[in-house]
Amino acid sequence: MSDPTQRDALSLAEAIAARRLSPVEAVEAHLARIAAHEPTLQAFTEVYADDARLAAEGADRAIRSGHAVGPLHGVPVVLKDLIDLAGRVTMGGSAAHRARRADTTATIAHRLIAQGMIVLGKTHTVEFAYGGWGTNQHLGTPWNPWDLAVARTPGGSSSGTGVSVAARMAPWGIGTDTGGSVRLPASFCGLTGLKVTVGRVSTHGIVPLSATLDTPGPLGRSVADVAVLYRAIAGPDILDPSTRGIDPIDPLPGLTRGVRGLRLARMPRAERAGVSPEMLSAYDAALEQFERLGAEVVDIALPFRFADLMSVQASAVTNAEAYFVNGRLAEDPDAPLGDAVRARILAGASVTAQDYLATQSLRRDRRRQFLAAMEGIDALLTPTTETAAIPLAEVDEGHLPSRFTRFGNLLDLCALALPNGFTGAGLPLSLQITCRGYEEALALRIGHAYQAATEWHLRSPFE
């Protein structure tokens, strides 16, 4: 494989560690691909070309001298434009913060850099990470690389990370997920993305949307890549109280155990309404694949409809916390905020303390009910989105694509999105594997078994 950009992250890491490929070659290849495709795809807010080259030269010398800091030394990575790097601009997707330079480096970035990874740049996000289609009114919307003729939704809010990884401008990257913002780009861009449980990965140094629900997570081409990147960023952080007392669990030892003997639930039949025929066909085929692999696919009676958790009441926590962070800015009519995002933030102004606490109580009740329904079941399988990526011209900002993803955040669960087919027009379809909180290793194991038996994740939008 002569082109480093066509290697997945683990293949790249292995080649660098074995000195069959240098970090300089890897970084130069990705920078060249960014230069070639970024004018069209617009995935990046900033490319750190000079610094990445310097880091690659240092990594090359360290590896050649026997001073590699670990197996990921020299591997490029991209970061969502919510993640602080000291001295670098973090806009959080907002033109109002074009000049905001970070004073510190986020814990997640520290961990990646400490393991020798090389940050290629920052990637676009929906403004303040508050939207699922991937649109950004003032800074621009990244172009979904699976259709170069029609501008389609890249998925949000981690739109730039999704587009850059799908287009092979980076081997993997970091997003964040508050209502689906890792899984939605994974769905629309043909990637694998992991929504972690709150406390698994530190949010210190990451621009907040909803402190209660925000979760950083990895996006990559395969479950194996995502599992390794997840391991690299997970663990307690003294600067993030939500991580304390949560012991990290290495997902790699059990990754290849397969699914024989596991009980996987199909979604209730009523939930099929509103899902495109192609998405349902891919979903049904995935269920059959799991049965061939030895899993038992069973029915489940859920205590709610997924759409119920898209209601105004269920959104009170996010709305209130988003307003707490950005309400003053949203109330300034001269501030350059996108219309849809401004409206979502201002909705938090009407959330009373009683509303907020009632929603927290609702979350606890629904979580107890969901866990009771999951008794004896290892994971719930659903589509990730109702459809494949739609044209940007058809986006209704009043209807978000997070019907199947938001419940995972509200109920403190973990979930994995991965490709499970393509439409007749060649657009990716996606399967979601939802497990109980802190069972990331199980979700990754189930997803890896599926990818070991299929090849959907191996496709790329163009060479």
Distances, alpha carbon 264 to alpha carbons 122, 161, 224, in Å = 37, 30, 21
Closest CA to 209 of 105, 323, 103, 352: 323
Q: Cβ atoms within 10 A of the Cβ of 27, count?
A: 25
Per DSSP bridges, beta strands 296-298 and 215-220 are unpaired
The residues annotated with a catalytic role in the active site are: 80, 157, 181
Contact call for residues 55 and 31 (beta carbons, < 8 A): no
Peptide bond into 157 cis (omega under 30): yes
Instruction: State the virtual CA torsion across 255, 259, 263, 269 in degrees, nearest 10.
Output: 100
Distance spanning both ends of the chain, measured CA to CA:
13
335 forms beta bridges with none
407 neighbors 436 (Cβ within 8 angstroms): no
Task: Report in angstroms the alpha-carbon separations of 380 from 218, 373, 436.
Answer: 21, 10, 9
On whether the CB atoms of residues 266 and 287 are closer than 8 A, the answer is yes
Return the closest-CA partner of residue 330 out of 351, 312, 347, 350. 347
